[in-house]
Structure 1
Amino acid sequence: MNNPSIDIQEYLAEYQSQVIDLILQIQQQEYQISITREDQPDLLEIESFYQKGIGNFWIAVANEEVVGTIALLDIGEEQAALRKMFVAKNYRGKELQVSSRLLYQAFQWAKEKAVHDIYLGTTQQFVAAHRFYEKKGFVSVTREALPDAFPVMKVDSKFYHHTTPFA
């Protein structure tokens, strides 16, 4: 792979099947998490679920292929849940910075929308993701510290919080 051009853009419906395939491949094959498409109905209605209020959904596209995703879900009270952050294995790491660019896009959006807090839930298996989030200013919190409106997924067992400023 010789440094393809990677475009970070707002989600469009034409990319839905690629988004679902990428996320399920990482969850099921790479991390052996027993989660299905049916367990994630938000993936079938990205526009109406994520792209409203202070929420949005972005994709990283290289050569017409979705190689990364990230979403902010509006949970009220000027707070958002960071969801669906996934990057294809070949596009991870410092060289291409797809994860950093996706998170930067979400942080810029959060600034523009006057979001005060971003929370996220993840699994214990995503150890590299834990390090990434911590380097980006997220602090580990208990499940009890989450706002009532935070949608805990059945696979979530580790939680993080980030406050403004987002950088």
Structure 2
Amino acid sequence: MSRPPLPPFDAETAALKVRKAEDAWNGRSPEQVSLAYTPDSQWRNRAEIFSGRDRIVAFLSRKWAREHDYRLIKELWAYTGDRIAVRFAYEYHDDSGSWFRAYGNENWEFASDGLMRRRLASINDLPIAEDQRLFHWPRGPRPQDHPGLSALGL
């Protein structure tokens, strides 16, 4: 199985890889998202460190069970060879209805088949009022005409 675009990346293929990842995460299907990673993919997400697709599915299932109305925007930061650096922001609310915007950076490393073999994420949550939300679209991928992070001033 391969997951184009494949490394080595150029500006166009790196940006496409980022958008495909964003679209998948906005679909919020842990099983589908996990297929973009190698079976032994290594993850660091905040304080959690783990590897393997089963652990990815479990992690994402827990995440999206507590982060309601999740909307994510990713933006290419840098790329070289088999690596991509991404900055992102996402908005969600918890069970009590409190809204947050999470900001972060990810470093990705890919196998030659285009599957991600390493994902390192650093994330900070900022409480926001509901009227401060900027990510408004129906569940699923961000519409092509919705502004990205830079256009939103983030």
TM-score, normalised relative to structure 1: 0.30
Structure richer in helix, relative to its length: 1
TM-score, normalised relative to structure 2: 0.32
Structure richer in strand, relative to its length: 2
Relative contact order, higher structure (CA 8 A, sep 6+): 2
